[in-house]
């Protein structure tokens, strides 16, 4: 018997936000809520457990994608039909989950990205444009962690292609694109963080490191076949 | 009797070989990694004991000043060693990540109740 929906929330030191995020998700869906605690030094795991979420406690910090992939592994093992990834910082609005999973339920897409191109600074938008050009990916919001994957995509994400990636962004999309998955981008609203800072862009050094790593990744994957289908509902 | 230059190379070879054997003995170095370094020590000892060897190899390869051959070979071997080390590290990183992910799922199944804290009950890494 397959499970229907898992909402995966990778979290690092988010004890201030995690309760609200779990409560928000629970209001709008009936699936399993899985919090992947990326070796937080605060009480994120305890707070998530007290809210009734399934907690996967990582012994070592694996980073944003490593934590997400732990949830994907859990979804794959327990044969969930759909996995939605949502940030623990409260930026993603749980009300948009329905819009993410609808195209998968109607078999219009295998992967759906909740896209909010209004957010972000000019340098971030320029980096999106640059990486879009050199990868050939049509996706506008390359760094959105608000995504939904169907069972086939979940299974694909457990292959070695994605084992050593650091971020849930271009590398993941390139791997799915190479495998011919249908990627759809739908517009969603995102809120500014209520507390804490971004895991990926917490300092200028992190931004530089991200850009260099992503550039090398894009160059190494150059020439790979594009997605069999990419569509966008963004105007 | 060896001249001083030959003794230096020979001595370095013996020193490296002894250091490697001690490291393996104390479990600080895997045997498979020791093979490479013992080969380096053996080569150093061979070139120390038979200095004409490098002249002969240089002549075969058409290098007019054979001592540069040693430097080129040495640098090449260092590059190869560093690359293979990074390959090995990448493979280990892949395994560590997979293990950590699986362990997290296992712990969540071992301590399913909200009042149990898997992280607190987990055995710490050595």
Closest residue by Cα to residue A117 from A198, A186, A197 = A186
The residue of chain B with its CA nearest to that of A78 is B105
State which residues of chain B have pLDDT below 70.
1-5, 112-126
Of the ranges A33-47, A163-177, A212-226, the best mean pLDDT one: A33-47
- ipTM associated with this complex: 0.74
In order of their start, the domains of chain A are 3-232 (3.90.550.10)
pLDDT per position as a tens digit, A113-144: 999 877 767 777 788 888 888 888 888 888 89
B27 CB neighbour count, 10 Å cutoff: 7
Look at B108 and A37 and tell me if their CB atoms are within 8 Å.
no
Please provide the size of chain A in residues: 235
Distances (CA, A) of A118 to A75, A124, A192: 31, 11, 12
Chain B contact for A49 (CB, 8 A cutoff): yes
Mutation site for B-interface testing, chosen from A18, A51, A56, A71 by largest number of B Cβ within 10 Å: A56
Chain A contact for B101 (CB, 8 A cutoff): yes
Q: How far apart are CA A85 and CA A9, in angstroms?
A: 6
Which chain A residues are Cβ-neighbours of B88 within 8 angstroms?
Answer: none
Q: How far apart are CA B112 and CA B59, in angstroms?
A: 72
Q: What are phi and psi of A61, to 5 degrees?
A: -70, 125
Residue A126: both structure tokens together: 């320029």
Which helix or strand (DSSP H or E) is residue A153 part of? helix A151-156
pLDDT per position as a tens digit, A13-70: 999 999 999 999 999 998 899 999 999 999 999 999 999 999 999 999 999 999 999 9
Q: What is the strand order of the sheet A147-150 is part of? A: A54-57, A32-37, A3-11, A80-85, A147-150, A111-115, A182-187, A229-232
Which helix or strand (DSSP H or E) is residue A74 part of? helix A63-77
């Amino acid at each position: 018997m397959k499970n229907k929906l898992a909402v995966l929330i990778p979290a690092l030191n988010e004890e201030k936000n995690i309760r609200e995020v779990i409560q928000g998700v629970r209001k709008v869906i009936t699936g399993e809520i899985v919090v992947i605690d990326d070796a937080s030094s605060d009480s994120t795991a305890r707070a998530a457990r007290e809210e009734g979420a399934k907690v996967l406690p990582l012994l070592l910090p694996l980073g944003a994608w490593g934590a997400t992939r732990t949830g994907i592994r859990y979804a794959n093992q327990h044969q969930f039909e759909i996995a939605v990834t949502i940030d623990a910082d409260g930026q993603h609005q749980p009300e948009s989950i329905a819009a993410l999973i609808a195209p998968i339920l109607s078999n219009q897409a295998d992967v759906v990205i909740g896209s909010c191109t209004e957010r972000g600074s000019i340098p971030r938008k320029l980096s999106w444009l640059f990486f879009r050009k050199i990868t050939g990916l049509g996706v506008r919001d390359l760094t959105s962690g608000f995504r939904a994957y169907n069972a086939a995509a979940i299974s694909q994400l457990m292959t070695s292609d994605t084992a050593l990636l650091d971020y849930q962004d271009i590398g993941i999309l390139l791997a799915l694109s190479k495998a011919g998955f249908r990627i759809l981008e739908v517009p969603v609203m995102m809120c500014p963080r209520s507390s804490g800072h971004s895991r990926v862009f917490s300092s200028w050094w992190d931004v530089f490191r991200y850009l260099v790593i992503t550039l090398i990744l894009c160059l190494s994957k150059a020439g790979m076949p594009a997605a069999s289908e990419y569509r966008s509902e963004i105007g | 009797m060896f001249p001083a230059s030959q003794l230096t190379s020979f001595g370095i070879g013996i020193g490296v070989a002894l250091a490697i054997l001690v490291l393996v003995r104390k479990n600080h170095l895997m045997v498979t990694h020791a093979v490479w370094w013992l080969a380096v020590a053996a080569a150093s000892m061979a070139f120390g004991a038979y200095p004409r060897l490098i002249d002969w190899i240089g002549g075969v390869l058409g290098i007019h000043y054979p001592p540069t051959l040693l430097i080129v070979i040495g640098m090449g071997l260092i590059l190869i060693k560093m690359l293979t080390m990074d390959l090995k590290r990448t493979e280990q990183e892949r395994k560590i990540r997979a293990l950590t992910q699986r362990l997290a799922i296992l712990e969540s199944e071992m301590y399913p109740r909200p009042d149990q804290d898997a992280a607190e009950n987990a055995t710490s890494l050595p």
